[in-house]
Amino acid sequence: MRTRSLCNAVLALLLLGIINQAGATEGALGRPVTGMSVLPDAGIVPGEPVWIGSIAMFYIDGSIGGGREVPVAGKTTLGVNAEAFFAMGTIMKVWDTGTGRWNFASSFTLPYTYTKASAALSAGSVQGNTGDSSSDLYDITFSPIIAGYHFSEFEHVALSLNIWAPTGNYDKSKLSSPSLNTWTFIPQVAYTKLFSAQNLELDVVAGLEFYTRNSATDYQNALLFTLDTMLLKRFAGGAGVGLIVGTTQQIGKDSGPLADRLNGFRGHDWAVGPIVTYDTKVGTKSQLSLSLRWVPTVSSKNRLDSTRSFMGTATLVF
């Protein structure tokens, strides 16, 4: 197994939902940010029993405009402008499961967020503009089981269940809160195919997102399907460059009094952008993997439309 797979697998299995300002759900909110869940070696769970630590930082600035009604905090607004920064610290334990085709791991992530949002209140609410910001710990996420299977040296798949808990401070009167106030369950499949002769790599990450009802607003987010793909070219010296294509598709309609009035507020989007990577050794045993991407929205309906969507990651095996 290649050493860099130890460093990259954890992030690809966890970054399916690092921001609360980008879904086709309540407040144009949701867990997924299109194009952000796929990383190099996404389908490879390491064979060695190690600990892995990682940090991911994410920034997005976007809007839903055109006077479109958006459900936020129990009322509707005419469009939303949002800006958010996230920092996530993740620890992952790869268990000692021998040298067979199956390997297993578990992980825990603690996110911190700064978000800022503004909107124009629609008819039926108090008229005028409103806006606020928040800065606090966000909802925690953990993966009790991540199972990797190795078809061969060049083909791998990883299955995981990622769980988001509503541990952040939620205030339904605010446009911006460091929580969605819902449990979210995300079964996910990640696949990696290596083309060693060409130094190419194909990574695919697909997931389904199941939300519980927001008890404060009686809003039920519909099922979301996410698919992110990446083709990466490796170079001598540890550098790499690739292209990411991703989509989020809402399956069915949102429900609840407000969602019903907006005909389910169903949405989807597509995003395309580049990624650069770098892998290097630290000392005699550790390996550091870095990546930076820009994945702007190219098509969107009832989801945050952003041309400024950036993420940087750093992962270390120890």
Of 224, 246, 244, 231, the closest CA to residue 25 belongs to 224
Using DSSP bridges, classify how beta strands 200-211 and 51-72 pair: parallel, antiparallel or unpaired.
unpaired
Spatial distance between the Cα atoms of 43 and 37, rounded to a whole number of angstroms: 12
pLDDT computed for residue 128 by the predictor:
55
What are the backbone dihedrals phi and psi of residue 6, each rounded to the nearest 5 degrees, phi first?
Answer: -60, -30
Q: Is pLDDT at 163 greater than 90 in this prediction?
A: yes
pLDDT at 266: 83
Work out how many domains the chain is built from and give that number.
1
- Convert the pLDDT of each residue in 187-230 to its tens digit: 999 999 999 999 999 999 999 999 999 998 898 989 999 999 99
124 DSSP 8-state letter: T
> Could you give the maximum distance between any two Cα atoms of the chain, in Å?
65
3-class secondary-structure state, position 187: strand
Q: Are the CB atoms for 298 and 273 separated by under 8 Å?
A: no
pTM for the model:
0.87
Q: What is the radius of gyration, based on Cα positions, of the chain?
A: 19
Q: Look at residue 19 in the predicted model and tell me its pLDDT.
A: 37
For residue 135, the domain's CATH number is 2.40.128.130
| Residue 151 structural domain | 4-317
Tell me the CA distances in angstroms from 123 to 15, 48, 79, 127, 182, one per residue in order: 37, 59, 13, 7, 28
Does the pLDDT of residue 114 top 80, yes or no? yes
**Rounded mean pLDDT of the chain?**
84
